[in-house]
Amino acid sequence: MSQSKNVVITGIGAVSPLGLDAPTTWAELVLGHSGIDFIKSFDSEGFETRFAAEVDGFNPEDYLDRKDARRMDRFAQFAVVAAQEACKQAGFDPKSMDQYRTGVIVGSGIGGIITLTQQQEVLSAKGPRRVTPFLIPMMLGDMASAQISMATGAMGVNFCVVSSCSSGADALGQGWEMIRRGQVDVVLAGGSEAPITPLAVAGFNSCRALSRFNEDPKRASRPFNRDRDGFVMGEGSAILVLESEEHAKQRGATPLARLQGYGATSDAYHLTEPGPTGQSAATAVLMALKAAGVDPSEIDYLNAHGTSTPMNDRQETKALKLALGEEAYRVPISSTKSMTGHLLGAGGALEAAICVMAIQDGIMPPTANLVDPDPECDLDYTPLKARQQEINVCVSDSFGFGGHNSVLVFTKPDWEH
């Protein structure tokens, strides 16, 4: 068997509650600003939770042909726009290469729920003949990856990963594996989500997952804080250009970071609760570190899953202690969900992009709203203020409903164009 190929990231794109591109998102994160506010997309009167992390000011027709945009659910629009940004930064056009050697893998936990719920209302009010013929191709979870393929000309492997809040991280992990074994040269990988609908908010409220801190939305997402009461739903997309180091060098691309390792496990325990021991999540961390050839002592920064739910933050802390031992107390950690909200299936992809930008700029974004730490969450969670420090090794955790645990390891590249 031939030696596995190294994988580098040459482009990132993002549409987030903090900005319509990756640089704006990063700048706002570093300043500790929040993208969480009262819901504008529907009347939330009577809901237990009346706020979310919405993408503000996004007009798909600023980026896409009007006809094409109208045939995409919002989650697919986000994905295409993020992919275009990533390809532009990477200086990469699949049509100028062997198109079958570029794949697209995009995770989404919810898919086209906006289109689905809107057309259910049309069916109820006007009858079956008035339902749009685009209902099915707009609501399917794979339509973000399909639309990216059509927009860019990428004709290699193309599919959607669905693993709840680990979806985006798993998409990157699968892309990494395919490049390493030589199946493709390049993968446009990440996640996209647009779940802020009455049905989704009501559903997450019913399972007691969302924060209900309506008094001050910007303080609602408070990971690792003693009084945290749930996550804040967010929307957006992040897409990364992954390619083999050899391919990137051949075309003169500039590497932003290496994707060095990936590990994934399942708790096999509960629909929504993390495993009680933290061992399965810890094993995913150790698997990713082993794949990367990285020791816990070498980790410079860890971007936590850190949802702000009482149980998740406590169990993640436990898992990190199991995985890293005494090094867990040394490693600077933060949860950027304190500012972006939780992008569900796109969360791991956005946080991967954040890890790349952290490596690039040598800055660890803060955990906002961490003013009264939970005694059981006693690691260095970088409260309130970003820190400057050289980052050579960065880890990102993603954990999802159903017991999915997915971990990525990023490193600083050792060559530049």
Residue 36: name the closest of 209, 196, 165, 150 by CA: 196
Identify the band that residue 171 occupies on the pLDDT scale cut at 50, 70 and 90.
very high
Identify the band that residue 414 occupies on the pLDDT scale cut at 50, 70 and 90.
confident
Range of the structural domain that residue 300 is part of: 261-411
Asked whether residue 273 falls in the same domain as residue 244, the answer is no
CA distance 411 to 175: 17
> What percentage of the chain has pLDDT greater than the value 90?
94
The 10 Å Cβ neighbour count of residue 242 is 30
Residue at 385 is within a domain: yes
Stated pTM of the model: 0.96
pLDDT in tens, 342-379: 999 999 999 999 999 999 999 999 999 999 999 999 99
Domain count, the chain: 2
Mean pLDDT, residues 296-324:
96
Please give the DSSP secondary-structure letter assigned to residue 384: S
Strands 158-161, 102-107: parallel, antiparallel or unpaired by DSSP? parallel
- φ/ψ of residue 161, rounded to 5: -100, 130
Mean pLDDT, residues 219-229:
97
Residue at 110 is within a domain: yes
**Helix extents (H) in 238-309:** 245-250, 279-292
Residue at 399 is within a domain: yes
- Render 3-18 in DSSP notation, one character per residue: PPPPEEEEEEEEEBTT
Q: Active-site residue numbers?
A: 165, 305, 342
Q: What is the CA radius of gyration of the chain?
A: 20
Contact 103, 159 (CB under 8 A): no
CA distance 202 to 204: 6
Of 225, 250, 275, the one marking the end of a domain is 250
Evaluate if residue 416 carries a pLDDT over 70.
no
